[in-house]
Every structure is written in structure tokens, then in C-alpha cells.
Amino acid sequence: MFKKIFTLIFTLSILNGCQKEQKNLYKITKLQDGFPEILTPFKKDLPFKILTHSILKSTNDSIDIYFGGLKQGNRSGHWIAIAVNDHIKEFSSVSFNENPENEKENDIDIKFNNSTNRVSLRIKEVDTIANKITYSWMNQSNLTDSLTVQKIDRPLINGKTFPEIELTNMDGEKLNLDKFKEQTIVINWWAVWCAPCREEIPGLNKLVDKYSDKNVKFISITNDDVDKVSEFLENHEFKYDITFVSDNSENIFGNSYPKNIVINKDNTITFYEEGGDALKWQKIDKHLTELKL
């Protein structure tokens, strides 16, 4: 009996010892006042003022995660960015759950490389008085000691077959992309309210003009309603064929805009890029030239 009690006490002491020695995976980083130099190229286009910044500690030599505070009018908030080899890949504002007991709502996913990769972290606390942040890296749903780059299986990446989707035109008639299977198809996923989408449209119109005598079909796809698009087109020319995606198919494109896609005659994606600007058409043009249409 005494031997059993001794064994139990010994086992519990070992377990308690392990719990005490369990590694704390949270890190604390101070936030510095001012604008980070790496964001200088974006400074004039930002809709808010950056107040603070910091680089979150990781063990990855090529990837840096930047975090800081911002102010837009009377509202304060935070921003986060990812840089690969000192080049910003993604940048966005972030919001936090006001209930500190529910930490999971402060989990942040940063997608980059056309959303084929993801870095995740959990923000436990942002102390605005001491100007510091408490955070941990994540892999799936687990806290980890170092930054982990996760792969994302995406339906829209180079080399994949473009999935079947349900489309309608401005008149509500169904449109099947199989109708253009003997052509190269250039797709623009856009929204009326999306500023980068509007910015790239004049350049996209140049593509339509340049390849008017080639076997190329230019199709825009949106999940906006017809009335909004019609109102937009009254004051803005968009030479792509205007189409609308069904509720069943819009999840293929996701909730970020714009996206530009090129599909060859074998229905294979040969070009895929997220984000837009006034010069995006030049990248698409270069790719179409390489296809030797």
C-alpha cells in the first residue's frame, strides 16, 4: 500500500514539474513611434496615418511581419503587413475582439503569393499605454514558437484546370465558358466599389483593342447586382463582356478584388494574379505575347 502511494505521489510531482516547465510561447515586442521605412512607397496612397510600428520576432530569415497602430480621422486601429525578402507582399488594417477572454477572435491569417501561402498568429494583448504587443505564432490551431508558412490549396492557380462556373450576362441570360473553348479567355474578377478594380479598367480596355483581331475573349465577372453595374457603366467604359456570377460559384473567387486570370484553349490557367493597378494590363499583355496567339 505504501509503495502504491509513493508511486502516485512521485508521478504527480513529475507531472507538476512538467507543467511548471512548459514553455511560454507568447512573445512581447515594443512598438516604436513613427512610420516604418519599408512602407514608404505606399505612404501617399494610405487612407490612414500610421502612428507606431514593430517587427514581430520570428526565426525566418526571409519573411518579416510588421505590426503597428494607425489613426483614421477620430478612429484608432491597427495594421499588419508581411514582407518577403524586404518587399511588402500584403498590407491591411486589422480589428480586435473587445472581449479579452475570447482570445481566438484575435487570430490573424496573412495570405500572400496569390493566396497560396499563409502565416498565422494570435494577438493576445495590445497595451496602448506601455506601447507593446503580446503575441504568438500559430500553425493550424496550435500556438508555436516560430513563424510557420502554410500552403493553401487554391482552385485558381497556374497549371490548374479552370473550374466550371455559372454566369449570366447583363440581360440575365446564362453564359457558358465552353462556348469559347477554342479561344484564349482573359478574366477580370472585379467589383464596382473596388478602387484598384476601377484603376485598372482603362488599361484592360487597351488589351481589348490590341487583341481585337486575335482569338482572345475578354470577360469580366462580378457578384455586384445588375443595377449597380449599369449605373457604373453609364459613366465608365469597360470593354470586357460584363457577366455576373451565381451564388453557387462566387466562392471560387473569394472575397478579394481584383483578380486577373488567363485560360488557354485546354481550359488550363496560365496566368493568375491578385491585386490591381493602372499598369496591371502590361503584365497581362506580356503574358499574352508569350503565348504567341
**What would the mean pLDDT of 205-216 be, rounded to a whole number?**
96
Locate the domains of the chain by residue range: 24-151, 167-290
**Residue 249 pLDDT:** 85
**Residue 23 pLDDT:** 65
CB 194 within 8 A of CB 266: no
Amino acid at 240: Y
Give residue 189's pLDDT band: very low, low, confident or very high (50, 70, 90).
very high
DSSP of 184-250, one letter per residue?
A: EEEEEE--TT-HHHHHHHHHHHHHHHHTTTSSEEEEEEE-S-HHHHHHHHTTS---SEEEEE-TTTG
pLDDT above 60 (res 258)? yes
Residue the block writes with cell 503565348 = 291
**What would the mean pLDDT of 155-167 be, rounded to a whole number?**
89
DSSP of 48-105, one letter per residue?
A: SEE-EEEEEP-S-SSEEEEEEEEEETTEEEEEEEEEETTEEEEEEEE---S-TT-GGG
**What would the mean pLDDT of 201-217 be, rounded to a whole number?**
96
**Residue 12 pLDDT:** 43
Give residue 42's pLDDT band: very low, low, confident or very high (50, 70, 90).
confident
**Residue 117 pLDDT:** 87
pLDDT above 70 (res 142)? yes
**Residue 120 pLDDT:** 93
% the chain with pLDDT above 90: 55
Give residue 242's pLDDT band: very low, low, confident or very high (50, 70, 90).
very high
Q: Name which residue leads in pLDDT, 293 or 151.
A: 151
Q: Name which residue leads in pLDDT, 6 or 79.
A: 79
H/E stretch holding 124: strand 117-127
pLDDT above 70 (res 236)? yes
- Provide the edge-to-edge strand list for the sheet that holds 269-274: 174-175, 167-168, 241-245, 216-222, 184-189, 259-263, 269-274
Give residue 19's pLDDT band: very low, low, confident or very high (50, 70, 90).
very low
Q: Which CATH superfamily includes the segment(s) 167-290?
A: Glutaredoxin (3.40.30.10)
| pLDDT tens-place string over residues 71-117 | 988 888 899 999 999 988 888 888 776 555 555 568 988 888 877 88
**What would the mean pLDDT of 149-155 be, rounded to a whole number?**
81
Sequence-distant (6+) residues with CB within 8 A of 235 are none
pLDDT above 60 (res 218)? yes
**Mean of all residue pLDDT scores within the chain:** 86
CB 47 within 8 A of CB 92: no
% the chain with pLDDT above 70: 89
**What would the mean pLDDT of 268-291 be, rounded to a whole number?**
94
**What would the mean pLDDT of 35-42 be, rounded to a whole number?**
89
**What would the mean pLDDT of 218-228 be, rounded to a whole number?**
95
